[in-house]
Structure formats: structure tokens, C-alpha cells
């Protein structure tokens, strides 16, 4: 089958889509990848160039205007997707659903962040509220949804306009057929019957190895604020100081967002621009993170408890789920002190209940199951995997 991949330019999302593309090609499918100018596919694919490259600052800020511009560019090019048999689209890019509706082809959603699909008791993913299916919880969540609609008014208006132009009567931005979620099985709030399947991180190869070995005289902590938030020097300095006060060693990855001089001023035992994150987590007793879904899931795959300091997007929802499962603690970024970091680190390292709770998780079914589900839902037999 001929698949089109539609994904926003967030590095962690691209990593999952690159892996999906490689796995589909390995199965004999044809892949067309919608990418901005200058972006290169991480798999063998036909490339549809759609719009200019994303601005890094706008990506960090989650700029709604840039998101609308990306949707505009994709929808303007809807006719160029003719001939594809199905679209695999990131939930954060509404153009995927609009183009699938316009072409009358199946849509498979990918939730690289927390799934957008809401069920009873589940608050919008950008809120750190607990799961609460009671009447009170339902009223509270409804209020949160109204706030979300107000914040996203411009984007929703653009979506409605494009639906009308493309002749899409039913504006369903997530798939009713299948959603591949990068949450580990059991991590998300209960959803009942749902097209969402929890698979864990979507990878198609073993993670990079590393020769790095921290000294064993003290607990080793891995800390990262992800690929978009590594520029927060004060926050990183507070994390490093709190770990040091707790008697631990800490390695911080800043994602290339700091100069060498800025990085040295953070005060961590090791601070690097990029590291093989999974290899660092293999060695860690604790992970301090902003709550990005990839980092949180890669830690829990290795039964590593978490301190979560949410900054934006769905990170508040990830923190709420971490608390619900007892696999870590949440700290607020506003007025964060080294003392608060020290107390959180000491509590997790001394209380074995956090590590025991993390042991309930492990590697998810991952890419092999994702491909099986895609082919099963589209009723593709092994003999039909050749391109068409």
C-alpha cells in the first residue's frame, strides 16, 4: 500500500515517524513523506515539500500562528496527496485528518504526545488534573475543554475553514480506526473501548550504545528538559545544585541549546549537548525530566522513577499520570528551589516504593505490533504489502 506520513517538525515526533517509515518500507509498502524545505526523511520515501522550515523559537513556544501556517500549507497541497491509499498522521497536525477526509482514504493517528482523545474523567492533556470520572470531575473537565477551545480559537477557525474548502463534512481530527500511542501499556488514564492502542516508544532498531560509566560511589541521575527546552539555564542550574546537595551525581543533556560557556556554568557533574538517552537511563537511579512523553516512557521502560518538572504542552498531563502510578514526584517550575529538588531526589532514592511502582512497567510491544495493527486494520494480507 502507498502511505503518506504527515508529522510536525518536533524532533521526538519525527523520530517515531522516521522509524514508522522505515518499518513500512521494509514490509514492501511505498511511503510518501510530507516535509518542509530543508528537512530530510529518515527513511526511503518520496518527499512532498510543504512550506518553509520551522523556526526553532516558535517551536519552543508552541506558536499557534506557525501551527496554523503549517496546516494551511499542507491543506493547500491536498491534491498532491492523490494516489495514496492511507494517511498516517500525527495527532498534533489537523491537516492529516482533513486531507484524509478530502481524499476519502483511511486515517491512522499517531499519538507521539498524550492522546488527544478524551474519555469520561480524562482531562485535556495540557492540564495536570487527576483522573476523576465523578460528576464533579466531569464538570471540571468540561470547563477545561472550554478553556482549550478559547485558547485554540484561531486554529479551530482555520480547521473549519479548510474543512469547508476541502468538502469534509465530519471534522474528526483523530482516527476512529486506529491510534498508535507511545504511552506504555497501562500508563494512560482508563479509556474503556477505544481505537487507542498503547505501544510504548515507536523504534525500529536497538538504541545507541555508550561507553560512559559513572562512578558507583554515589547515585547517578540523568536529567533532560528535552530537545526544545534545554535553553533554560536557571532551571538546569537549580536541578544540578539540588542533585549535588542530595549527594548524587548528575548528567544533564541540553540538546545543543547552550553554548559551551553557558553549559559549564550550570554546575552539573557532566553536561553535554546530545547523549544516547536510553544508554544514560540504563545507568540511572532516577530521571529528572520536563515530562516529555518520550523521556518518561524510556525511563519507565527501564523501571527508572521520575521527578517531573512540567513546562508546556502535554507535560502536565504526563506528570499527573506519573503521580497517579506512584512512579515519581512532580515539582512546579515557578519558584523552584534547590532545596525542593534535593528533597524530591532524597525521597525517591530512599523510598523503595517508587522503584517498585516503576517495575510494573517495561518495554511495550512497540514497532512490530504497530505495523501488525496497521496492516490488520487496513485488511492488508502479507501478499498485498507490495506497493500499488
CATH number at residue 17: 3.40.50.2000
Does one domain contain both 27 and 151? yes
Does one domain contain both 334 and 373? no
Residues 323-345 as b/e (b if ≥16 CB within 10 A, e otherwise) read bebebbbbbebeebebebbbbbb
Instruction: Evaluate whether residue 136 is within a structural domain.
Output: yes
Does one domain contain both 247 and 276? yes
Q: Which three cell numbers stand for residue 48?
A: 512532498
C-beta separation of 84 from 141 below 8 A: no
**Could you give the CA distance from residue 84 to residue 100 in angstroms, rounded to a whole number?**
10
Does one domain contain both 190 and 266? no
pLDDT per position as a tens digit, 357-367: 999 999 999 99
Does one domain contain both 140 and 276? no
C-beta separation of 111 from 313 below 8 A: no
Domain count, the chain: 2
Does one domain contain both 76 and 167? yes
Q: What is the pLDDT of residue 195?
A: 93
Average pLDDT, the chain: 91
Does one domain contain both 253 and 181? no
Does one domain contain both 290 and 376? no
Instruction: Evaluate whether residue 206 is within a structural domain.
Output: no
Q: What is the pLDDT of residue 150?
A: 87
Low-confidence residues in the chain, pLDDT < 70: 54-63, 381-388
**Could you give the CA distance from residue 351 to residue 317 in angstroms, rounded to a whole number?**
24
Q: Is 283 exposed, middle or buried (0-12, 13-18, 19+ CB in 10 A)?
A: middle
Structural domain span for residue 282: 220-358
Sign of the CA dihedral with 350 first, then 356, 357, and 363 last: positive
Q: What is the pLDDT of residue 147?
A: 87
Q: What is the pLDDT of residue 310?
A: 96
Give which of 203, 195, 183 is closest to 317, Cα–Cα: 183
49: three-class secondary structure by DSSP: strand
Q: What is the pLDDT of residue 73?
A: 94
Does one domain contain both 162 and 254? no
Q: Which three cell numbers stand for residue 213?
A: 560509566
pLDDT per position as a tens digit, 88-143: 999 999 999 999 999 999 999 999 999 988 888 999 999 999 999 999 999 999 99
Does one domain contain both 38 and 153? yes
Q: What is the pLDDT of residue 2?
A: 97
**Could you give the CA distance from residue 299 to residue 301 in angstroms, rounded to a whole number?**
5
Does one domain contain both 10 and 142? yes
Where residue 44 falls (left for φ over 0; alpha for ψ -120 to 50; beta otherwise) is beta
294: three-class secondary structure by DSSP: helix
**321 φ/ψ angles, rounded to the nearest 5 degrees:** -75, -35
Amino acid at each position: 500500500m502507498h502511505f503518506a506520513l504527515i508529522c510536525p517538525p518536533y524532533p521526538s515526533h519525527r523520530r517515531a515517524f522516521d522509524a514508522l517509515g522505515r518499518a513500512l518500507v521494509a514490509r514492501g509498502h511505498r511511503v510518501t513523506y510530507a516535509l518542509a524545505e530543508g528537512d530530510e526523511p529518515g527513511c526511503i520515501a518520496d518527499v512532498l515539500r510543504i512550506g518553509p522550515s520551522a523556526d526553532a523559537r516558535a517551536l519552543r513556544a508552541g506558536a499557534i500562528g506557525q501551527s496554523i501556517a503549517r496546516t494551511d500549507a499542507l491543506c493547500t497541497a491536498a491534491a498532491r496527496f492523490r494516489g495514496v491509499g492511507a494517511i498516517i498522521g500525527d495527532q498534533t497536525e489537523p491537516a492529516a485528518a482533513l486531507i484524509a477526509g478530502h481524499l476519502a482514504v483511511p486515517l491512522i493517528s499517531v499519538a507521539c504526545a498524550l492522546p488527544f482523545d478524551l474519555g469520561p474523567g480524562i482531562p485535556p492533556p495540557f492540564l495536570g488534573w487527576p483522573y476523576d470520572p465523578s460528576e464533579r470531575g466531569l464538570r471540571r473537565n468540561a470547563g477545561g475543554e472550554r478553556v482549550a477551545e478559547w485558547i485554540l480559537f484561531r486554529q479551530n477557525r482555520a480547521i473549519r475553514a479548510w474543512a469547508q474548502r476541502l468538502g469534509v463534512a465530519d471534522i474528526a481530527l483523530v482516527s476512529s480506526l486506529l491510534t498508535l500511542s507511545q504511552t506504555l501499556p497501562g500508563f494512560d488514564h482508563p479509556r474503556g473501548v477505544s481505537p487507542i492502542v498503547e505501544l510504548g516508544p515507536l523504534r525500529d532498531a536497538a538504541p545507541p550504545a555508550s561507553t560512559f560509566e559513572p562512578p558507583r560511589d554515589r547515585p547517578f541521575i540523568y536529567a533532560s528538559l528535552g530537545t526544545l527546552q534545554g535553553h533554560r539555564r536557571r532551571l538546569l542550574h537549580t536541578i544540578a545544585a539540588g542533585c549535588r546537595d542530595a549527594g548524587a551525581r548528575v548528567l544533564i543533556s541540553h540538546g545543543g541549546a547552550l553554548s559551551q560557556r553557558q553549559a559549564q556554568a550550570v554546575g552539573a557533574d557532566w553536561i553535554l549537548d546530545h547523549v544516547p538517552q536510553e544508554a544514560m537511563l540504563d545507568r540511572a537511579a532516577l530521571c529528572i525530566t520536563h515530562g516529555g512523553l518520550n523521556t518518561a516512557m524510556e525511563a519507565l521502560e527501564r523501571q527508572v522513577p521520575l521527578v517531573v518538572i512540567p513546562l508546556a504542552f502535554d507535560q502536565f498531563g504526563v506528570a499527573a499520570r506519573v503521580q497517579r502510578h506512584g512512579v515519581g514526584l512532580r515539582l512546579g517550575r515557578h519558584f523552584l528551589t534547590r532545596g525542593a529538588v534535593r528533597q524530591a531526589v532524597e525521597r525517591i532514592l530512599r523510598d523503595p516504593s517508587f522503584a517498585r511502582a516503576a517495575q510494573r512497567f517495561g518495554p511495550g510491544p512497540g514497532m512490530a505490533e504497530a505495523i501488525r495493527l496497521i496492516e490488520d486494520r487496513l485488511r492488508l494480507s502479507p501478499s498485498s504489502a507490495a506497493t500499488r
